[in-house]
Structure 1
Amino acid sequence: MSPAAVGLQQLPHHEEHRQAEITVVQFSDEAVDKIITRYREMLRPADERVGEELRGWLMVLATLTASITYAAALNPPGGAWQADDAANHFVAGYPVLRDKSPWRYFVFYYCNATSFAASLCIIVLLAVTKLFTETKIMVFSVLVALDMVGLAAAFVAGSSSSKWFTAFNAALMICLVVLFLFWKRRCLMVGTCCLKSFKQLVRS
C-alpha cells in the first residue's frame, strides 16, 4: 500500500468530516450554477454568438440614424419661414433652403428620407429575424450601406453653404468610402489566403 493511502486511512473521523464540509462549501449551488452557465456559454455555436453581437450593433446603428434623420426632416438646415411673404412667394413653415437653393434641398431631402427608410427597414427586419444566414447578412449589408451613404450625402447637401464647401465635403466622403472599400477588400484577401493555407494544411 502506498504512503498516501496509509495516510488517508489514519485520518481521524473529524478530519474526514471537515474535508467533506470544505468540499460542500466549495461546490455550493451558486458555484455550480456559475460553472454550468459558463460551460453552456462555451458550448454555444460561434455563429449564434456572432449573430447576437451583430444584432445589437445593428439595432444601435439603426436607432441612432433613424433619430438623426427624423430630427433633420422636422428641422431642415436653415430652418423654416416664420411668416408669409407674398412678394417673394415665401410661405410660413416651408424650408428656407428650398427657396434659397432648391438643388441642395432636394438632395438633402431625398438622401435623408432614404437613410430614414433604410434605418426603419433594419429595425423591422431585426425584429422578425432570429437566425442570420448569408442572404440575410447580405441584405443587412446593403441596407447599412444605403443608410450610411444617404446620411453622408444629406450631410454634404445640408451643411455646405457654397460650391467649395460642397466639393470639399463630397471629396472627403468619397475618400472615406474608397478607404473603407480598400480595407474591406484587403480583409477579404487575407481571409481567403488564410482559408487556402488552412485547407492545404489539413490536406497534407
Structure 2
Amino acid sequence: MAGDPILLTVNAGRYKAFYYCNSVAFVASLVAIILVQSKVMLETHVLEAAMVLDLFGLIGAYAAGSSRDLSTSIYAMALAGAVLVYVVIHVVFFTLNHGDPTPEEIKSVDKRRKRLLLFAVLAATITYQAGLTPPGGVRLQDDGSSGHQAGDPVLFYNFPRRYTAFFYCNSVSFMLSIALIILLVNPHLYRPAIRSYALAVCTGAGMFGLMGAYAAGSTQHLKTSIYIFVLGAVVLFVIAVLLLVFLECGRPGYRIDCRTIKGGSR
C-alpha cells in the first residue's frame, strides 16, 4: 500500500528486525533519561544496563536497516566486537607495568572521558543517520535489466565501488563510536583504556572513517574526494601545530624566558 516502507515490501523479515531493534533503543533511551533524574538510580547499575541495551539496539537496527544481505549485516556487527576485543588486548598489554592511578590522574582521565564521550555521541548520530539514508537516496522501483530492487541505494546503482567504500567507512566509524560509548559507561573499563591511549586510537580511527565516508559519499569524482582528504589532513596539521604551541607556552621555563625578554627590551 502507499505509505508502506520500501524495506517492508522488499524484505519483511529484515524490516521487522530493524523496527524492533530501533524501538528497543528508543524505549531504552527514554528509560535512561528518566533514570538520570533519580539520584538513587545513579548509584546502581540500572542506568548502565539501560544504556548498554540502547546501544545494542542501535547496532541491530543499523545492521538490519543499512544493508540488504545477511553477510554484510554480520560484517557490520562484527566490527563492534572487533573493536571491543582490540581495546581489551591493548589495555592488558599496555597497563601491565602501571601502578594504581593517583587522584590527579583520575581527575584528568574523567575530563578526557567527557571529551571522548561527546565525540562518540556526535559521530554515532551522524553515521547512524547516514547509514539508514545513504547519499543519493534509494531506488523507488525495481529495475529488471540491472537486477536492482526498490530500496537499493542509488549510489550503489551508479558507482558500486564508491558506495562500498562509503558503507564500510561509515560502518567502521559507527561501530567504533558505539564501542566507545559502551566502554565509557563503566569507570573500571574507561580509566585503564584512556590511560593506555586505547580509546584515543579508536577515536582517531573513527574520525578517519568518518572522513572516508564523507569523501566517498559526498561526490562522484575521485579528484574531489582527494581534495577532501587533503583538506582534512591540513586541518589536522594546523590543530597539531596549535596544540604543540599551546603546550610549549604552558611550560614554566618558556614563561620565564618571555619575562626576561620583556625586561631586557625595556
**TM-score range, shorter-chain basis?**
0.5 to 0.7
1:24-173 aligned at under 5 Å gives the runs: 45-130=103-188, 132-133=191-192, 136-173=195-232
Counting matched residue pairs gives 152
Question: Could you tell me the TM-score, scaled by structure 1's length?
Answer: 0.64
User: Where do 5+ consecutive residues of structure 1 fail to align?
Assistant: 1-43, 198-204
What are structure 2's unaligned runs of at least 5 residues? 1-101, 255-266
Name the amino acid aligned to 1:48.
I
Judging changes above 3 Å, is the alpha-carbon distance between structure 1 residues 134 and 100 closer, same or farther for their aligned structure 2 residues? closer
1:58 alignment partner, SS class? helix
Confirm or deny: 8 A CA contact 1:111 1:150 kept in the other structure.
Answer: yes
2:235 is matched with 176
Does structure 1 retain, via aligned residues, the 8 Å contact 2:194–2:200? no
- Conserved? CA contact 1:105–1:157, under 8 Å: yes
Contact 1:160 1:169 in 2 (8 A): no
**1:75/1:107 Cα in 2 relative to 1: closer, same or farther (>3 Å)?**
same
Conserved 8 A contact 1:83-1:92: yes
TM-score by structure 2 length?
0.50
The 3 A distance-change label for structure 1 pair 136 and 51 is closer
What code does the residue aligned with 1:66 have?
A: A
Deviation at 1:134, TM superposition (A): 7.5
Answer yes or no: is the 8 Å Cα contact 1:63–1:123 preserved in 2: yes
Give, as a single letter, the amino acid of the residue that structure 2 aligns with 1:71: Q
Letter in 2 for 1:132: R
Q: Distance in 2 between matches of 1:62 and 1:172?
A: 22
Q: Distance in 2 between matches of 1:101 and 1:195?
A: 56
Runs of 4+ that moved beyond 6 A: none
- Equivalent in the alignment of 1:19: none
How large is the Cα RMSD of the aligned pairs?
Answer: 2.8
| Aligned sequence identity (%) | 30
Shift of 1:124: 1.2
Separation in structure 2 between the aligned mates of residue 134 and residue 165 of structure 1, nearest angstrom: 37
Q: 1-side partners of 2:107 and 2:154: how far apart?
A: 48
What is the aligned partner in structure 2 of residue 6 from structure 1?
A: none
Greater Rg, structure 1 or structure 2? 1
Letter in 2 for 1:172: L
Matched residues in 1 for 2:208 and 2:122: separation?
Answer: 15
Counterparts of 1:79 and 1:59 in 2: how far apart (Å)?
Answer: 30
For the 8 Å contact 1:80–1:92, the answer to whether it is kept is yes
Render the CA deviation track for 1:140-169: whole Å, top value 9, x for unaligned: 110110111111111111101323322321
Cα distance in structure 1, aligned partners of 2:193 and 2:136: 43
CA contact (8 A) 1:114 1:147 kept: yes
